[in-house]
Chain A
Amino acid sequence: MAEPEYTVESKCETTEEEKSSSASSEVVIGIDIGTSQCSVAVWNGSEVELLKNTRNQPLIRFDVPVDNDIPLGEVNYHLSHKHERLSGASILNMKRLIGRVDTDRVVHASNNFPFLVQTLDMGARPFIATLVNNVWKSTTPEEVLALYLAELRIMAESKLKRPIKDVVLCIPVSFSRIQLTRIERACSIAGLHVLRLMPEPAAVALQYAQQQQHMLRDNTGRVSKRIALVFNMGAGYCDVAVADIDGGVTEIKALSGSEIGGEDLLENMMRHLLPSFDKLDIKSMGSLRVAIQEAIHELSLEESVQIDVDLGNGSRLCKEVKREEFEEVNKFIFCESQILIVECMQNAHVNVEDLTDVIVVGGCSCIPKIRNLVENLCEREIYKGMNPLTAAVYGTALEGALTSGIDDPLGDVDLLTSQVTTLGIGIRTNRFEFVPVIPRNTTMPVHKEMIFTTFKDNQTEALIVVYEGESEMEDENHLLGYFKITGIPPALEGVPEINVGMDINASNELSVLARVIIPGSQQPVVPVMELKMPTVDDGHGCCNEVLDRAYGPTLDSMIVRRKNDSI
C-alpha cells in the first residue's frame, strides 16, 4: 500500500510550539484521597515520585482535627495521642459522606463516627458537626476536603518548588456524578483544577501497564497482550476493573464497585463485640474504634487477638477475638466483594482462564480472607510487583503526565488508557421507567442518541428527566437534572420525534441535548436544548419526589420510547 508522505502545515507551527512549551512547564500531580489516608505523587520526568509530608510519611491520614472554629488539616499536624483525634473534635471518613443525602445507607451507617452526623431522612444534605468547647459546630464534607486538599497542594508546592494547579484524582467506581461535582468543587476551593477523575482500579491498571511495558523492553520475547483484573478494597469502597492491555493501550473493559470496605468490617466487629455500642459517648466510641481497628489489623497476621479497652465509667471490654470469628461476622461483605468480581468479569466478557494477572490493592488487601477469595475465584496467585497502598496514586500521577503531554524524550511511557462509564445514564419514560441512553461500561468519549416521542395527541411539551444508575426503576437511580421542551407543534401521539443526545467527553463531562423534529422536515421545530449535567445540587434526593408530585399525575409532558428507532 502506497503511503503518501505527510507534510506539516507550517501556519500552525508557532502556536503549537507555544502550547507544548507551556504544557511542559505545568506539573500535574496525582492525588489519591482515601477514606482513611491520602497520598500525592508526581511524574518527575523519568519515574513517579511519591511526595512525603514533613514527617516523611508517604501515606497521610485523612483526619481533620477541628480547633475552635478552624478545622486544621492533618497533613503535617501531629496529635500526641490518637484517642485525642477521636474525641468529637475531629472529622474523618469524609470520602464516604461527600455528596450523599440523609436517606443514604452509608450516611445512616455513620453513627459510629466520633462526630455528629444528623439525618432527617428527607433527601437533603445531612447535618455534620464537630464538638468544640461543648458546642456542635457545623461543617460540610466539601469544606473539610477542600481544606485538606489545600494543605496537600501547599505540601506539594513546597516539595516541588513551583506552583501547582492541575491535578488528577482517583475516585471510587460507585461515585455518582453528584459526588464527582462535589469533589471538583472542593478542588476548586483548594485552588486546584481537576484534569481527570480516574476510577481507582483504572489508575492501578495504568501502573500495571507501565510495569508490563518496561518488562517487555527488557525481555522482548514476551507476549504483549495482557488481561488484568484489579481488585481494590480500601476503607470506604470496593472496586473491580478488568483491563485489556495491548500495544501500550490500556482499555478498561468493565468496572464494578460498591460502597463496602474496611469501615464496614470495623462497624460489624464493633456491633458484634458490643451490640449496644451506639449508646456510648463520643470519647468511648473513639477508644473502641481505635482498639477494634488495631485488632483487625493484627488479625491479618495472627490467628487470634486480645482486645482490652476502657469504655469509661468503670466499664471495660475485654475479649479474645479469633480470625474465624472476624470472617464469620463479615461474611456478607466478603460475599459482596466476590459478587463484584464475578459481575465485572461477566461485563467484560472474560473468563478466568483469559486473565494474565490478578492485582489486589488497597488497605484491605492484606486481609487473608480477601486474598484467599480472590485467589480462589480467579484461580491464580496474586500479582506481586505492586505496592498495594500506593498503586492508585502512582497511576494518577502517570495519567496526569500523559494527559498534559508527558516530557518523555526516550519514549519510555508510550501509554494510553481508555476509560469507560461507571454508571448508565438515561431518561425517564412511561412515568417511572428508566431507559438507559448511554449504558454502563461504555468507552469514553461517547455520543449516543435515542428517539422518543409524545404520549398524547397534541402534546405541546415534553419533560426530560435524566438519571444515572443501573436500576430499571427511576427512583432507585440518582437524579442528575431535568428540563422541559415547550412549543411542540400539535400532532398525533407518536408523531413528533424527540431526539435525545448524550455526550460524555474525555474529561467525563456530560451534556444532554434534545431537539424536536416533525417528520418531513429536517430542521428542529423548536431551538435545540443543551445542558451540562448534573444540574441538580443540594437536596437531589427530595427533588425527585417534588418532580413526581408536580408532573407525575398529569401525563401532559410525558415521553415514550419510539420503537425500533434507537441509533
Chain B
Amino acid sequence: MYATLPSPFLPKSIHAFSPNKTSSSLRTSARAASFKSATATESNSAAVALAGSLYEILRVERTASLNEIKTAYRSLAKVYHPDANGSSSDGRDFIEIRNAYATLSDPTARAVYDMSLGVRARRVRNRAYPNRRWETDQCW
C-alpha cells in the first residue's frame, strides 16, 4: 500500500493540476464554478502554500459568512482532497485548506485571527503557516 501515495515529504510540485482532474471537475456546473475560482489564485506558483491570508486560501472575502466559508471549504475539498475523484494531490494542499477552515469556521478563533491580521500582518503570516517552515527547510 505504500506505493500508492507518495510520501508527503517528497519534494513535489504542489499543484499538479491534471487534465484528468479538469474533466472530473467540469462534470457539474457547481463543481466547474468552484474549479474556476480555484484556478484564479492557482496561477501563482505554489498558490496555496504562499497565498496571503487564510481567507485567500479558502478563496473567500474577508466579510464571508460562516455558510460561505463552509461552502468554499467543501468545494475546495472536492478538488484537493487526495481521495477526490481524479485527484493526484498528496494532501498538502488539503491540509492547508483544512487548517484555514478550522480557524475561520470557529467564530472565536476567527475573531482572534482577524485582529492579529490587522495589527501584525507579517508576523501572523509566519505563524499561520508553521507547516511551511518545515518543508521550506527540507525541500525547497
- Contact partners of B18 in chain A: CB under 8 A: 12, 16
Q: Which of A289-297, A424-432, A500-508 forms part of the interface with chain B?
A: A500-508
Mask of A507-546 contacts with B, CB within 8 angstroms, 1/0? 1010101000000001110001010100000000000000
- Contact partners of A449 in chain B: CB under 8 A: 130-131, 134
Q: In the complex, what distance in Å separates the CA atom of A248 from the CA atom of B28? A: 12
Question: Which chain B residues numbered 60 to 92 have a C-beta less than 8 Å away from chain A?
Answer: 70-71, 74-75, 77-78, 81-86, 90-92
Mask of A405-434 contacts with B, CB within 8 angstroms, 1/0? 110100100101110000000000000000
Q: In the complex, what distance in Å separates the CA atom of A408 from the CA atom of B91? A: 23
- Contact partners of B27 in chain A: CB under 8 A: 411, 414
Tell me whether A416 and B83 are in contact in the complex, defined as CB-CB below 8 angstroms, given that A17-B19, A445-B95 are known contacts.
Answer: yes
Q: Is B119 close to A, CB under 8 A?
A: no
Q: In the complex, what distance in Å separates the CA atom of A9 from the CA atom of B5? A: 23
- Contact partners of A528 in chain B: CB under 8 A: 138
Q: In the complex, what distance in Å separates the CA atom of A6 from the CA atom of B30? A: 16
The answer to whether B91 touches A506, judged by C-beta atoms less than 8 angstroms apart, is yes
Tell me whether A403 and B83 are in contact in the complex, defined as CB-CB below 8 angstroms, given that A414-B31, A449-B130 are known contacts.
Answer: yes
The answer to whether A19 touches B20, judged by C-beta atoms less than 8 angstroms apart, is yes
Mask of A377-419 contacts with B, CB within 8 angstroms, 1/0? 0000000000000000000000000110110100100101110
- Contact partners of A567 in chain B: CB under 8 A: 127, 130
Partner of B20, one of A16, A408, A446, A501: A16
Q: Is B140 close to A, CB under 8 A?
A: no
The answer to whether A8 touches B77, judged by C-beta atoms less than 8 angstroms apart, is no
Q: Is B36 close to A, CB under 8 A?
A: yes
Tell me whether A507 and B40 are in contact in the complex, defined as CB-CB below 8 angstroms, given that A246-B74, A567-B130 are known contacts.
Answer: no
The answer to whether B19 touches A8, judged by C-beta atoms less than 8 angstroms apart, is yes
Q: In the complex, what distance in Å separates the CA atom of A411 from the CA atom of B24? A: 9
Q: Is A118 close to B, CB under 8 A?
A: no
The answer to whether B5 touches A416, judged by C-beta atoms less than 8 angstroms apart, is no
Partner of A447, one of B5, B37, B70, B131: B131
Mask of B83-112 contacts with A, CB within 8 angstroms, 1/0? 111100011101100100000000000000
Query: Closest Cβ of chain A: how far from B60's Cβ, in Å?
Result: 11
Q: In the complex, what distance in Å separates the CA atom of A522 from the CA atom of B19? A: 39
Q: Is A218 close to B, CB under 8 A?
A: no
Query: Closest Cβ of chain A: how far from B11's Cβ, in Å?
Result: 14
Q: Is A347 close to B, CB under 8 A?
A: no
Which of chain A's residues has its CB closest to B101's CB? A443
Question: Which chain A residues numbered 227 to 270 have a C-beta less than 8 Å away from chain B?
Answer: 246-249
Mask of B15-38 contacts with A, CB within 8 angstroms, 1/0? 001111010000110110001110
Q: Is B8 close to A, CB under 8 A?
A: yes
- Contact partners of B91 in chain A: CB under 8 A: 445, 505-506
Query: Closest Cβ of chain A: how far from B129's Cβ, in Å?
Result: 10
The answer to whether A1 touches B40, judged by C-beta atoms less than 8 angstroms apart, is yes
- Contact partners of A411 in chain B: CB under 8 A: 27-28
Mask of B35-48 contacts with A, CB within 8 angstroms, 1/0? 11101101100000
The answer to whether B20 touches A509, judged by C-beta atoms less than 8 angstroms apart, is no
Mask of B107-140 contacts with A, CB within 8 angstroms, 1/0? 0000000000000000000010011001001100
Query: Closest Cβ of chain A: how far from B102's Cβ, in Å?
Result: 8
Tell me whether A4 and B40 are in contact in the complex, defined as CB-CB below 8 angstroms, given that A416-B84, A505-B5 are known contacts.
Answer: yes
- Contact partners of A60 in chain B: CB under 8 A: none
- Contact partners of B74 in chain A: CB under 8 A: 246-249
- Contact partners of A195 in chain B: CB under 8 A: 1, 4
Q: Is A193 close to B, CB under 8 A?
A: yes
Query: Closest Cβ of chain A: how far from B1's Cβ, in Å?
Result: 5
Q: Is A69 close to B, CB under 8 A?
A: no
- Contact partners of B70 in chain A: CB under 8 A: 246
Q: In the complex, what distance in Å separates the CA atom of A193 from the CA atom of B3? A: 10
Tell me whether A405 and B85 are in contact in the complex, defined as CB-CB below 8 angstroms, given that A414-B28, A511-B9, A567-B130 are known contacts.
Answer: yes
Tell me whether A507 and B5 are in contact in the complex, defined as CB-CB below 8 angstroms, given that A3-B36, A414-B28, A528-B138 are known contacts.
Answer: yes
The answer to whether B78 touches A405, judged by C-beta atoms less than 8 angstroms apart, is no
The answer to whether A507 touches B1, judged by C-beta atoms less than 8 angstroms apart, is yes
- Contact partners of B4 in chain A: CB under 8 A: 193, 195, 507
Partner of A506, one of B20, B83, B86: B83
Query: Closest Cβ of chain B: how far from A215's Cβ, in Å?
Result: 17
Which of chain A's residues has its CB closest to B28's CB? A411
Q: Is A20 close to B, CB under 8 A?
A: yes
Which of chain A's residues has its CB closest to B39's CB? A6
- Contact partners of B94 in chain A: CB under 8 A: 445
The answer to whether B95 touches A4, judged by C-beta atoms less than 8 angstroms apart, is no
Question: Which chain A residues numbered 1 to 35 have a C-beta less than 8 Å away from chain B?
Answer: 1-4, 6, 8-9, 12-13, 16-17, 19-20
Mask of A438-469 contacts with B, CB within 8 angstroms, 1/0? 00000101110100000000000000000000
- Contact partners of B9 in chain A: CB under 8 A: 503, 511, 513, 530
Q: In the complex, what distance in Å separates the CA atom of A506 from the CA atom of B2? A: 11
Counting chain B CB atoms within 10 Å of each CB, the highest count among A247, A509, A511, A530 belongs to A247
Query: Closest Cβ of chain B: how far from A452's Cβ, in Å?
Result: 15
Q: Is A480 close to B, CB under 8 A?
A: no
Which of chain B's residues has its CB closest to A10's CB? B19
The answer to whether B81 touches A418, judged by C-beta atoms less than 8 angstroms apart, is yes
Q: Is A194 close to B, CB under 8 A?
A: yes
Which of chain B's residues has its CB closest to A530's CB? B9
Tell me whether A193 and B1 are in contact in the complex, defined as CB-CB below 8 angstroms, given that A4-B40, A12-B19, A505-B8 are known contacts.
Answer: yes
14 contacts between A and B (CB under 8 A): A3-B37, A4-B43, A12-B19, A193-B4, A196-B83, A405-B20, A416-B78, A416-B85, A447-B92, A447-B131, A505-B7, A509-B5, A513-B9, A567-B130
Which B residues are closer than 8 A to A by beta carbons? 1-2, 4-5, 7-9, 17-20, 22, 27-28, 30-31, 35-37, 39-40, 42-43, 70-71, 74-75, 77-78, 81-86, 90-92, 94-95, 98, 127, 130-131, 134, 137-138
Instruction: Please name the 8 residue pairs, one residue from A and one from B, whose CB atoms are nearest each other, closest first.
Output: A445-B91, A506-B82, A567-B130, A6-B39, A411-B27, A3-B36, A249-B74, A16-B18
- Beyond A405-B20, A445-B95, A449-B130, 5 extra complex contacts between A and B, CB < 8 Å: A3-B40, A247-B71, A247-B75, A416-B78, A447-B95
